[in-house]
Amino acid sequence: MELLNKKILVVGLARTGVAVARFLAAQGARVTVTDMKDEAALAPFLEQLADLDIDYELGRHERHSFLMADLIVVSPGVPMDIKPLLLAKAQRRTVISEIELAARFLTAPLVAITGTNGKTTTTTLTGEIFAACGFKTFVGGNIGNPLIELVTSGEAVDRVVVELSSFQLEGIVDFRPQVAVLLNITEDHLDRYATYQEYIDAKLRIFENQTSADYAVLNMDDPLVAAYAGKMKARVVPTSQRQELAQGIFYRNGSIVYRWEGREELFATASFRLKGVHNIDNIMAALASTLLLGCDAGQALAALEAFAGLPHRMEFVREVNGVAWYEDSKGTNVGSVVKSLESFDSGITLIAGGKDKGGEYTPLAGLVKERVGHLILIGEAKERMCNALGSLTDTHLADTLEDAVTLAHRLTSPGGVVLFSPACSSFDMFKNYEERGERFKSLVRSLDDGAGR
């Protein structure tokens, strides 16, 4: 990709935009950065680019900048359907995501992981297994470091693992991972996509440039994922908790079995620190990805046994008066909360709610009726959630997260579980899901063991 003296527009600053702008400037491109936020709001990011000769259009998007650019690179948080981008595409301007740009400059084998839920756990675990097996590994994409930062560092690595959102996949052209993983598909981001099918189509783009030399790791227990298995150009590596597979990776009698081209490996799950039904899916995907690309089974097992999971995803906080409190702030959609509720049989007090993302809450109905004793709803979505689920169990509306925690502490009997799994994004009340999760944990840690009884 020739970048010298090319007019390149970077849309969206933040961390990814900074990394892209620095890379392009280093390649001799004529860089303009545009963002709808103003200079004051972007000050921390602008400081990081102060030493470079870059033009800025802040607080606005100038139509001519989009139409005159040789290349437009879009940051993940920017919708691909904003008017200036649609105009640019209509005029045959090249519009790509940062992932597409970075991948053009990589040579190491790449594992790309997407899905509605479990991406971050699977991506992190895949990186841990590669590292434990002696491969120098970069882990990033939608988590941690933007992929372009690997390119700018000049660091030589043996393996690359990236988590990809549907937003990032909208902007690929030639992006081709050696291993592409689709964990699951459930309704999400319907505040950004006009239809559910648009969201599905964006996820499926992860496979579009693969060939028969590549691998597509597919969760065959998810009917939507399984429906597309026959359309892959890559070799399909199926995963399943429900059926034994002639080839692929599956769960049977307390063990994960990897069976591929005459090789069979067994991984007993009893020693895993990562618990939960949904995490078996994540572990199988991580094992398939790493074993396909040269990992030793014994070293992979050691990495699995050492991996304790991630903050804000079904994280045990503490026990208070016989009640276990779990923080699952990363559960930002209904499908994720379904998996979390399935981890407990009954006696759940569920705290949920936040910024509504436009999906249906009815998929939670059966589990709420069977397993949730008390439902406490907060945030912008609480009225809509109450209309969908409130009649199924003892339901309360709370004004703040603090009120919700206090109420849960009073309502939940010893032996029960309090689960904070919002099914919504955090932006109505918090900066992000991390801040929301930390606030919840702080509130739980401050509870008095002798109070509320």
Residue 453's pLDDT band (boundaries 50, 70, 90)? very low
Cα–Cα distance, 411 to 311 (Å, whole number): 26
Tokens 């470079």 correspond to what residue?
Answer: 52
Q: Does position 57 have pLDDT exceeding 80, yes or no?
A: yes
> Which residues make Cβ contacts (< 8 Å) with residue 86, sequence separation at least 6?
none
For Cα atoms 319, 332, 329, give the angle at the middle one, nearest 5 degrees.
25
114 touches 225 (CB < 8 A): no
Instruction: Tell me the pLDDT tens digit for each residue of 429-447.
Output: 999 999 999 999 999 999 9
Instruction: Tell me the pLDDT tens digit for each residue of 180-208.
Output: 999 999 987 777 788 999 999 999 999 99
Cα–Cα distance, 289 to 285 (Å, whole number): 6
Q: Does position 29 have pLDDT exceeding 80, yes or no?
A: yes
Residue 23's pLDDT band (boundaries 50, 70, 90)? very high
In this structure, the strands spanning 255-260 and 263-268 are: antiparallel
Instruction: Tell me the pLDDT tens digit for each residue of 210-236.
Output: 999 999 999 999 999 999 999 999 999
Instruction: Tell me the pLDDT tens digit for each residue of 236-250.
Output: 999 999 999 999 999
Q: Does position 339 have pLDDT exceeding 90, yes or no?
A: no
Instruction: Please report the domains of the chain, with CATH numbers, ordered by start residue.
Output: 7-92 (3.40.50.720), 101-306 (3.40.1190.10), 315-445 (3.90.190.20)
Residue 451's pLDDT band (boundaries 50, 70, 90)? very low
Of 44-58, 336-350, 430-444, give the lowest mean pLDDT range: 336-350
Neighbouring-strand partners of residue 325: 318, 418
Instruction: Tell me the pLDDT tens digit for each residue of 76-118.
Output: 889 898 999 999 999 999 999 999 999 999 999 999 999 999 9
Cα–Cα distance, 433 to 440 (Å, whole number): 10
Neighbouring-strand partners of residue 266: 257
Instruction: Tell me the pLDDT tens digit for each residue of 286-311.
Output: 999 999 999 999 999 999 999 988 88
Quickly count: other Cβ atoms within 10 Å of residue 349's Cβ.
27
Neighbouring-strand partners of residue 319: 324
Of 55-59, 293-297, 330-334, 402-406, give the lowest mean pLDDT range: 330-334
Tokens 């190491």 correspond to what residue?
Answer: 108
Q: Does position 314 have pLDDT exceeding 90, yes or no?
A: no
Report percent pLDDT > 70 for the chain. 99
Q: Does position 34 have pLDDT exceeding 50, yes or no?
A: yes
What is the set of active-site residues? 119, 142, 189
Q: Determine the 3-state secondary structure of 155 from DSSP.
A: coil
Report in angstroms the alpha-carbon separations of 332 from 267, 312, 344, 426.
31, 11, 19, 8
Instruction: Tell me the pLDDT tens digit for each residue of 149-190.
Output: 999 999 999 999 999 999 899 999 999 999 999 999 998 777
Question: In the prediction, which pLDDT does 208 show?
Answer: 98
For the segment 396-408, the average pLDDT, to the nearest whole number, is: 98
Q: Does position 371 have pLDDT exceeding 80, yes or no?
A: yes
For Cα atoms 412, 417, 419, give the angle at the middle one, nearest 5 degrees.
105
Instruction: Tell me the pLDDT tens digit for each residue of 253-277.
Output: 999 999 999 999 999 999 998 877 8
Residue 450's pLDDT band (boundaries 50, 70, 90)? low
288 touches 318 (CB < 8 A): no
pLDDT, mean over the chain: 95
For the segment 3-23, the average pLDDT, to the nearest whole number, is: 97
